[in-house]
Amino acid sequence: MSSSSAPLTIWSPQFLWTSIGSNALIFLSAFEALAVTTIMPTVSRDLDGEALYSVAFSGMLAASVIGMVVAGRWADNLGPTRPLLVAILVFLVGLIVSGTAEAMHLFIVGRVLQGLGSGGVGVAIYVVVARLYPAELHPKIFGAFAAAWVLPSLIGPPLAGVVAELFSWHWVFLGVAVVMVGASLLLVPTLRALRGTSTRNTDAAGSPTNILWAIAVAVGILAISLGGDAGGPVGVPVVIVAAAVVVLAIRPLLPAGTLLARRGLAATTLLRAGVAAAFYASEIYLPYMLNVNYELPPWLSGLVLTVAALSWAAASALQGRLGDRMSHEAALRYGAALLVVGIGVVLLTAALALVPVVAASGWLVAGFGMGLMFPRMSTLALAYSTERDQGFNSAAMSIADAAGGATAIAFSGIVFLAFGMSFVAAFALTAVIALVAVPLAFRSRASVQPASGL
């Protein structure tokens, strides 16, 4: 067969460098996220910033909400070239600021910039895929993106721990920045070709008003974290007001009825926020506990993240193979139950000072539950969408994920400090969040079935 008649793949010459570059950006984003979770106990001790430990995570996730909304509107109006380049630049600046920080507050500024950039990069890359690749290649490129998230789970935590021990935690950030420059250069020809491809989408999801709401959500989440750190008569009112701001501001960014857990899409979106909240807030304290209570080195305590990531990937593959043999409702219910069990095991490990392998076993179960749920929640979101609101509903899932995780991390930080840096208290909160999320899995099926028949 001649090359001219060969079937198109994501590695065909016209897509090759775009596929390599975009997958490299996804890989580096995943690596950075897992690496930071591994080395944060070292960073917080080195910068005398234990009180701001949770802010380093909640601040990044909160800022990513702004990046998602801004990049989405910008890409719709002017094409993905400028928003992607700006998002990459902001992410790079954030890596450099954190990587050179000598104070915790400056480190957090860098993390906020990383959140703005990573949120924008994710949205802009998806627009590049929509504009460049034919529809029949979309499952393949998104499958490659999924694989690009799995590989860092194998090498990210231990590599970050080794770099932090042998050299300095600073080089974890600076090293990612150097590699990201090279990955970005691979996309330059594609971005030039896509420059100015505008659809002038006027959908309200990317309206200037929603950008303001996204900023309000991010500011509110940061205020919860900082208000909890302040404590006392000043901190409590700040936390209450900030929580109210987050609830009010996030409503326009999510499907109608989400905060009321209306059956169908709304409940599915709220479930996404709930399970992300429980999992992400637990994840940041698990390596911390293993490092502090069991004196495990960063590279070894970080391996527990690899365990969960691998079980997540295995469950995702399993639910894909089962297809219709496992209903969406069953996948969500089993997944939510497994998440409760997994976090419960981690909580018992902290409360009873059990051996670390017990916590790792629990986290494997939690990761498996997440792997069952996440693909099915995304599938349901598209099934409940029309062409007119596919973008809004897809963005809402990402926003719920980031805002739910950031808010839970902020409150878990408050609880952690309020009880004297208690890991038991932090995991007790995340276990309650996971338990409360379970009923939402039973409301994912709408009373009136969507057009797709789901």
Contact 441, 261 (CB under 8 A): no
Q: Give the pLDDT confidence score for residue 446 in this predicted structure.
A: 61
Predicted local confidence at residue 165, as pLDDT: 83
Residues 282 and 416: beta-carbon distance below 8 Å:
no
Alpha-carbon distance 13 to 23, whole Å? 16
Low-confidence ranges of the chain (pLDDT < 70): 1-6, 76, 138-139, 142-143, 146-147, 194-207, 227-236, 382, 386-391, 446-454
| Distant-in-sequence, close-in-space partners of 243: CB < 8 Å, separation ≥ 6 | 220, 224, 407
8 to 15, 89, 129, 131, 188: CA distances (angstroms): 9, 32, 15, 16, 22
Give dist(CA 158, CA 97) in Å, integer.
23
CB-facing half-sphere around the CA of 372: CA atoms within 13 A: 22
pTM value? 0.77
pLDDT digits (tens, 9 = 90+) for 200-227: 444 444 567 888 888 898 888 888 877 6
Angle at alpha carbon of residue 356, lines to 351 and 361, rounded to 5°: 95
Return the structure tokens found at 57. 């995570």
Question: Helix, strand or coil for residue 102?
Answer: coil
- Considering the segment(s) 260-454 as one domain, its CATH architecture is Up-down Bundle (1.20)
Say what the pLDDT of residue 125 is: 82
Tokens of 134: 């034919």
CATH number of 12-199: 1.20.1250.20
DSSP state of 262: -
Token readout for 10 is: 């994501």
Residue 195: DSSP 8-state: T
Q: What is the largest CA-CA distance in the chain?
A: 76
Average pLDDT, the chain: 83
d(CA 396, CA 419): 34
DSSP assignment letter at 291: H
Rounded to a whole number of angstroms, the CA Rg of the chain reads 21
Residue 202's pLDDT is what?
A: 45
- Tokens 């929603």 correspond to 210
Residue 299 in contact with residue 292, Cβ under 8 Å?
A: no
| Whole-number Å distance between alpha carbons of 54 and 352 | 24
User: Which tens digit of pLDDT belongs to each residue from 151-177?
Assistant: 777 777 778 888 888 888 999 999 889
Residues 102, 47: contact at Cβ < 8 Å? yes
